[in-house]
Structure 1
Amino acid sequence: MSRLLQSLFGRLPIGWLQLSHSKTRFAAAIAGVAFATLLVFMQLGILGALNSSTIAPYGFFEADIMVSSEDANTLTDGSNVARSRLFQSLGVAGVASGTELYIGNLEFQLAGGSTATLQTFGLTNQGAAFVTPDIAAQFDLLIPENTALIDTATRGVSKGAFDSLRAGNPFPFEIKGQTLTAVGTLEMGGGFSADGTLFVSDQTFLRFFPNRSSGAPNHILLNVSEGAAVEDVVASLRKVLPADAVKVQSLEAAASADLAYQTTERPTGIIFGFGVLIGIIVGIVIVYQVLSTDVADHLSEYATFKAMGYGQPFFLGIVFEEALVLAIFGFVPGLAVSVLLYMGMSAATGLPVEMDGARIISVFVGTVVACSLSGAIATRRLAGADPADLF
């Protein structure tokens, strides 16, 4: 290691030699950096799962524009929209077609007496034009009453529970004292607000939600005419539809707004964001303590170098070398443990907790920057000090 660092820095690796001289302190420092890295990775992993599960339902739809209630901040909250807004929208130039979207939660009784929450989407017969091809291909199966497409990755349901359904056999189950028959499948998995997903017709939806009205869907989905610009049609719709009653956004903009709301205004997103910040602060404090102690222990040697004419850049180079060594040696075990915990959390909760390259790079760069910042703070005593004052 010494030879590698010597060739890299073009000088004797003083920082590495100082760190490795005390094996116990070096191991404790690595463990501290690894813990801080692990903390940041875990908070980012859960925050990433929140982000992924927030925008995942939008992936079921292939609409250009979404009309929602003015107070709707996410896909599932806010007031309902009057169906008359659909007919108004169809009269706007550039709008080719539209449909109502109904959303609600149903409780699926699992074996053993527990329940799974299924986020349920209800669409009219025209809805096939507004969903992904795999769902559209099964849309005719929803014409009979009390039929559904069910999420085979529903959290809490055994993997083999839907084998017969995949083979083409209906899968009846009970919800609210009524029998609902799954006749097709989709796959998404659970999120923070639901354990799985159902697609049903609007008529089936209204049977299971008797308090809902066909004239008040959650959202209205629109597709624009061929050649029409989505943003131009959105602008036209905003002139026609009352801004105090509805908001008009492209589907992509609606998903982005939902994600921003979940991560910056909902408590869950804010908590995990603070968790990342706390992890960074913990890492800075740990490395600072290690490096400042190391500087104090070798103060006489630093004073000698200063008396020989070495300036602050030389001392910063040594401490930055130590910071880089701690960052690398602490990052690797932190990453390894994080990957294992990610896999365990994903298997246990069904949440999309996944490690990706961008996260690895960003956390590594952040670790190096945090360690370097700690090193710069640790050497402040040497700046401008007289060598005699350091002995």
Structure 2
Amino acid sequence: MTIKIPVAWLQLARQRIRFLVALAGIAFVAVLMFMQIGFQDALYASATQVQKNLKGDLFLISSQYKSLTSNQSFPRIRLYQALGFDDVESVNSLYVQFAKLKNPVNGRKFPIYVLGFDPSRSIFNLPEVNENLNLLRRPNVVLFDSAARPEFGPIAEKFAQQEPVSVEIFGYNSIIGYKVKVAGLFKLGPSFGVDGNLMISYSTLMRLFQDRSAGYIDIGILTLKPGADRQKVLTMLSAHLPKDVRVLTREGFIDFERNYWSVRTPIGFIFNLMVIMGFVVGVVVVYQILYSNISSHLAEYATLKAMGFKNKYLLGIVFQQAFILAILGYIPGIAISTILYNMAKNATKLPVLMSYDKALIVLISTLLMCLTSAFLSTNKLRVVDPADIF
């Protein structure tokens, strides 16, 4: 049995150094795209962690709301007005605000995100929080985010070793600290705008932030009665509640936050631009590789053309080379990216994770990139005349 080795492979493998350099170039571009997409996805995933972990069917936010880290409060009475509708079973409120936490080891202060709520009711889908609701009912008690960045000091480690842990919290513009006891841990994690989180009761929050009023909340959480039509209730609430609030589903709340970071912030624009630039750079790199390969084998292509082979066959060789380069360059690219993802996750505490959708997106992008380069690099091959070569 005779095994036919494709001409495309023979041409690529003939000059091994050039072939390896070409694969390294494509692998680099694949890694570049993986890292851009990975950090972009980490941005959106981390920015919407709170929304994903809130219990509820519908959510009230201020009409001036921009994002969770730059939100606006609205009158708490809007919750009770919503409770007056037949399909609304219960309402809860969430207060959010930045504070500064003093590192108990070096005394330095770092911004931390504080989430305050009524601990008599569970509003989070976080087992660690729900298990410690009774502790939060005590005054001056907090739960600390074990996934926070290390700048806050070894708080989680000391608590895990059953050592008593107290920390000092400062209002964002205050020079007077407020001492609280860490009674438990939970895991939420940082984002591009938040380094760590604290859970506290709303009464403790009011003592910490004395300029705040309990009559103004940041997020309203509505739970509907079983069988209620969520979209119908949303439409009804939007029509009858005052225009200083907006009613959203969970998906709408997540999309609203995601859209803010994607469209209305420089970092979202930069990530989108870098993904496009990575693709363009890849097209240029692969174009140079394929064009150089065509130029060095132009006599062979002219010979094949003189023997009667059509342009379709010759172009097919180049597109096969592009496909081979894409696949073989992608394999080390995804392997290196997986290692870099783990390093980035450990260093930043952000959810930089490899997933099937990222792998598929970059694979398709790499194939499209190489095939586009193949199309651009074959102009010379289409018009080659054997008479001019010989």
TM-score after normalising by structure 2: 0.91
Q: Deviations over 1:51-92 (max 9, x none)?
A: 110111223311111111112132232321111111111111
Per-residue deviation, 1:28: 1.9
Letter in 1 for 2:212: R
Residue 292 of structure 1 aligns to a residue in which SS? helix
Corresponding residue of 1:350: 349
Per-residue deviation, 1:169: 6.2
Corresponding residue of 2:208: 208
Corresponding residue of 1:302: 301
Corresponding residue of 2:58: 65
| Gap runs ≥5 in structure 1 | none
Paired residue for 2:76, among 63, 83, 89? 83
Structure 1 residues 345 and 131: alpha-carbon distance in aligned structure 2, compared to 1, 3 A threshold: closer
Q: Distance in 1 between matches of 2:163 and 2:121?
A: 24
Quick check: 143-152 or 307-316, which moved more? Answer: 307-316
Q: Deviations over 1:196-223 (max 9, x none)?
A: 2111111111112122111111121111
Letter in 1 for 2:378: T
Is residue 101–residue 217 contact of structure 1 (8 Å, CA) maintained in 2?
yes
Per-residue deviation, 1:117: 2.8
Corresponding residue of 2:174: none
Corresponding residue of 1:37: 30
Q: Distance in 2 between matches of 1:304 and 1:121?
A: 74
Corresponding residue of 1:187: 187
Letter in 1 for 2:377: A
Structure 1 residues 172 and 324: alpha-carbon distance in aligned structure 2, compared to 1, 3 A threshold: same
Q: Distance in 1 between matches of 2:71 and 2:152?
A: 34
Structure-to-structure mapping, 1:234-383, within 5 angstroms: 234-243=234-243, 245-383=244-382
Q: Distance in 1 between matches of 2:194 and 2:16?
A: 49
Q: Distance in 2 between matches of 1:27 and 1:137?
A: 56
| Gap runs ≥5 in structure 2 | 171-176
Q: Distance in 2 between matches of 1:91 and 1:352?
A: 40
Corresponding residue of 1:143: 137
Letter in 2 for 1:298: H
Corresponding residue of 1:123: 117
Residue 268 of structure 2 aligns to a residue in which SS? helix
Structure 1 residues 332 and 129: alpha-carbon distance in aligned structure 2, compared to 1, 3 A threshold: closer
Q: Distance in 1 between matches of 2:137 and 2:239?
A: 36
Is residue 62–residue 129 contact of structure 1 (8 Å, CA) maintained in 2?
yes
Per-residue deviation, 1:40: 0.7
Q: Distance in 2 between matches of 1:18 and 1:129?
A: 63
Q: Distance in 2 between matches of 1:330 and 1:63?
A: 46
Residue 382 of structure 1 aligns to a residue in which SS? helix
Q: Distance in 2 between matches of 1:373 and 1:145?
A: 64
Is residue 116–residue 155 contact of structure 1 (8 Å, CA) maintained in 2?
no
Q: Distance in 1 between matches of 2:313 and 2:153?
A: 61
Quick check: 324-333 or 125-134, which moved more? Answer: 125-134
Letter in 2 for 1:364: L
Q: Percent identity?
A: 34
Q: Distance in 1 between matches of 2:296 and 2:161?
A: 71
Q: Distance in 1 between matches of 2:124 and 2:297?
A: 69
Residue 50 of structure 1 aligns to a residue in which SS? helix
Structure-to-structure mapping, 1:164-175, within 5 angstroms: 165-166=159-160, 170-175=164-169
Is residue 96–residue 113 contact of structure 2 (8 Å, CA) maintained in 1?
yes
Is residue 263–residue 270 contact of structure 1 (8 Å, CA) maintained in 2?
yes
Q: Distance in 1 between matches of 2:145 and 2:8?
A: 56
Residue 252 of structure 1 aligns to a residue in which SS? helix
Quick check: 15-24 or 270-279, which moved more? Answer: 15-24
Corresponding residue of 2:94: 101
Q: When the two structures are aligned, how many residues end up with a matched partner? A: 383
> How much is the aligned-residue C-alpha RMSD, in angstroms?
2.2
Q: Distance in 1 between matches of 2:315 and 2:342?
A: 40
Q: Deviations over 1:284-329 (max 9, x none)?
A: 1111011111111211221221222222221122111211221122
Q: Deviations over 1:257-281 (max 9, x none)?
A: 2112212322112111111111111
List 4+ stretches of structure 1 deviating above 3 A. 113-116, 129-134, 157-161, 163-170, 384-387
Residue 174 of structure 1 aligns to a residue in which SS? strand
Q: Distance in 2 between matches of 1:338 and 1:201?
A: 41
Corresponding residue of 1:152: 146
